[in-house]
Structure 1
Amino acid sequence: MADQNGCTIRVVRKWQTPSSTISEFSIDDSEISGYILEPQGPSTTLSGLDRRIPTGTYNLDWYNSPSFGKILPRLSNPDVSKTRYILIQSGNFPAETLGCLMPGASKGANFVNSSASLTRKIIKHLQSCDINKSSVIITEEFNLC
């Protein structure tokens, strides 16, 4: 179980289509895992393009999202500004990503399922961590089809 130390979420991109990117994810020292749906590539640091962010390590903080009416985890690092608003949010299809990471318990070619319940579980877990010491590490190991 988490404590006042930071939590680490590991995201490994595995599948990409012209419409989306799907990864496997896990949270260290927890049993929480599943899939992440992101926008299609190529990756970019630029905002407003609805594209995935580059691989790397991202810091987390809490962001009070007026669009979603709730507080969500936000990713940033020196290359991807907080003002890009890359959130961990619920959603099932590529059109809903808005550049963000959407967790799901299962996956299809361009979608994830059970996103809302898994997102709530992730947020609850992150609330038991020091968010300022937490991170998301994104890597790529694309499977060839």
Structure 2
Amino acid sequence: MLNIVIQRKEEYENVKKNENDDNKNAETSTVGNLSVYNEKGENIFSCFTLENGGTSTHISGTDRRILAGVYYLRWTSSNTNSGLAIKYDYWKKENHLEKIKDGTQGRNIAVWVMSDTIKNHNKRRILIHIGNYPQDTLGCILCGYTNENNGKIGNSTKAVNDLFLLFEKYGIENFKLTIKEI
């Protein structure tokens, strides 16, 4: 089993996607570190994460980060994550139909963060996908290679591509995700 650990590090207030946005479009965000460890405990991948700020919850429709805990991952389709397939043709959904076994009809491939122990968690459809701003999350987990130190991350498409390639190389069913609070 390979272990993914997300350690939430810092929250930011009033994060705007564009500098010209007014405060009504500002959101809170949480930046963390994601590390993947192989069976020997060696770190084989690292990046930053971005989630919504505020109190973690299991309640759907709240645009908040998920509860700290242990999760498993599955391939799914989604209407988010289109930038991944635009930059990397390999990730076009039609190239991966055999992986998507959940009956979803989205246009793009993504990773679904699932739990058998947190009541109603799977109804939230929390995904790992591309994005650099808290406005992109809707409760999901975004990955990027740079931390802008202002509540945003960068180089998300490349980080998600590299992470998804690891899922494919080792088999997504062989990963366990542990999320730790600040």
Q: 2:136 corresponds to which letter in structure 1?
A: E
- The structure-2 alpha-carbon separation of the partners of 1:66 and 1:113, relative to structure 1 and needing over 3 Å to count, comes to closer
Return the alpha-carbon distance in structure 1 between the equivalents of residues 64 and 151 of structure 2: 15
Q: Comparing both chains, which one has the higher relative contact order based on Cα–Cα distances under 8 Å and sequence gaps of 6 or more?
A: 1
More helix by share: 2
Structure 1 counterpart of 2:125, from 85, 89, 109: 85
Match of 2:151 in 1: 110
TM-score, normalisation: structure 2: 0.70
Instruction: List runs of 5+ in structure 1 lacking aligned partners.
Output: 1-5
SS in 2 for 1:95: helix
Match of 2:162 in 1: 121
Q: 1:73 corresponds to which letter in structure 2?
A: V
Instruction: List runs of 5+ in structure 2 lacking aligned partners.
Output: 14-27, 82-106
Match of 2:47 in 1: 34
CA contact (8 A) 1:7 1:126 kept: no
Q: 2:30 corresponds to which letter in structure 1?
A: T
Match of 1:74 in 2: 112
Q: How many residues align?
A: 136
Deviations 1:55-99 (A, max 9, x none): 110111111113442221111112153221111100000100111
- Which of structures 1 and 2 has the bigger CA Rg? 2
CA contact (8 A) 1:7 1:131 kept: no
Match of 1:7 in 2: 2
TM-score, normalisation: structure 1: 0.87
Match of 1:3 in 2: none
Return the alpha-carbon distance in structure 1 between the equivalents of residues 80 and 153 of structure 2: 21
Residue 20 (structure 1) aligned with residue 33 (structure 2): no
